[in-house]
Amino acid sequence: MIISADRLTKQFRTLRRKEGPLGAIATLFSRDYEIKDAVRDVSFKLDAGELVGYIGPNGAGKSTTIKMLTGILVPTSGTCTVDGIVPWADRQANGRQIGVVFGQRTQLYWDLPLIESFQLLRAIYNVPAATYERNLREFTELLGLDEFIRTPVRQLSLGQRMRGDFAAAMMHEPKVVFLDEPTIGLDVVAKENIRQFIARVNRDRGTTFILTTHDLADIEKLCARIILIDHGRKLYDGSVETIKGRYGRNRTLTADLNCENCDDVRITVPGANVVSREGPRIVIEFDRDAVRADELVVKLAQHYELRDVTIAEPPLEAIIRDIYQHGLGDGSVAARDGLLVTADVETVS
């Protein structure tokens, strides 16, 4: 076990604003604080070498948790350890063993060529020369840094800068790496590069990663386990497969029909609903456990000529969105209101 969080809680105190014409002045002298729980009683344990997705909607408390694990914030109550160190109690010892990538804030020096930032970090982390040389060579190769390593950081594209940031965060071979929105704003190719790099470092070096992201494709491609939080509380902690099995029982069937009055198409299978129709394309959603896919297709084929049929399981994103909106409840939440957006379905084969 490398990380242990035990009932971590962080409260923020904000001044309650006063209304009325003199509100601003009244606020100035007010002692009326509002206490908000950013994180409430969050506990979990991570084993060395795990690659865990830490997800939740905006304001759920993801960043606040990460900031406590990295020693930036002192929790209001509860505690945590990172490889035996309490982060905020010994920030410098913790700093030696962790790496942090904030997708929105670079740690590279704007005015300097990329390589100079590495040199400075090498001094800050006291990285032995041999280790530095080896890592520089490996990261240069994996991330393709050589084409821009002598370019001032301010002239790099976002994708190049992120690659530089990843190398910078790994140069001292941290045991645990915290990634906060590492692929935000990147194009598809750059995202894929970054994901491959994370997977590779995790596999080859056994580095533990905690990843917060809004791009659930990152999670699907990288993480076996997710921790889901909302309103500061832990909602789910387990494998991606389990959450898909339990909360993603819905399937969508997309069919292109050969029909003249396609708007008249009706389907009368209990547990299956038409969720959208657009010209000859009809999208039907059904509960995997209630309706058999083959029966649905046969029934459809009895009445209409089928040009094309695809059946898709919901992407993780749809499942998670559904949990954000309706809580965990019982397994078939997604089936209830036909929430799946068809645009997502089409991208899945």
Q: Which residues bind other proteins (CB under 8 A)?
A: 12, 58, 62-63, 67, 70-74, 88, 91-96, 98, 100, 102, 104-105, 107, 109, 111-112, 116, 119-120, 123-126, 180-181
Residue bearing tokens 């962080």: 10
C-alpha to C-alpha distance for 210 and 50, rounded to whole angstroms: 8
At 298, is the secondary structure helix, strand, or coil?
A: helix
| Residue (35 or 123) nearer to other proteins, CB | 123
C-alpha to C-alpha distance for 169 and 101, rounded to whole angstroms: 6
Minimum CB distance to other proteins, residue 216 (Å): 17
C-alpha to C-alpha distance for 165 and 264, rounded to whole angstroms: 55
Tell me, rounded to whole angstroms, the distance of Cα 80 from its chain centroid. Answer: 22
| Residue (7 or 96) nearer to other proteins, CB | 96
Contact criterion met (CB below 8 Å) for 167 and 127: no
| Residue (132 or 286) nearer to other proteins, CB | 132
C-alpha to C-alpha distance for 26 and 8, rounded to whole angstroms: 34
Minimum CB distance to other proteins, residue 67 (Å): 5
Minimum CB distance to other proteins, residue 255 (Å): 42
Minimum CB distance to other proteins, residue 142 (Å): 23
End-to-end CA distance of the chain: 38
| Residue (70 or 202) nearer to other proteins, CB | 70
Minimum CB distance to other proteins, residue 106 (Å): 9
C-alpha to C-alpha distance for 118 and 132, rounded to whole angstroms: 9
Let me know the angle formed at the C-alpha of 288 by 282 and 292, rounded to the nearest 5 degrees.
80
| Residue (229 or 272) nearer to other proteins, CB | 229
| Residue (69 or 334) nearer to other proteins, CB | 69
| Residue (115 or 328) nearer to other proteins, CB | 115
Alpha helix positions (H), the chain = 23-28, 62-69, 91-97, 114-124, 129-143, 158-170, 188-205, 216-222, 240-247, 293-303, 316-326, 333-337, 342-346
Minimum CB distance to other proteins, residue 210 (Å): 13
Minimum CB distance to other proteins, residue 3 (Å): 15
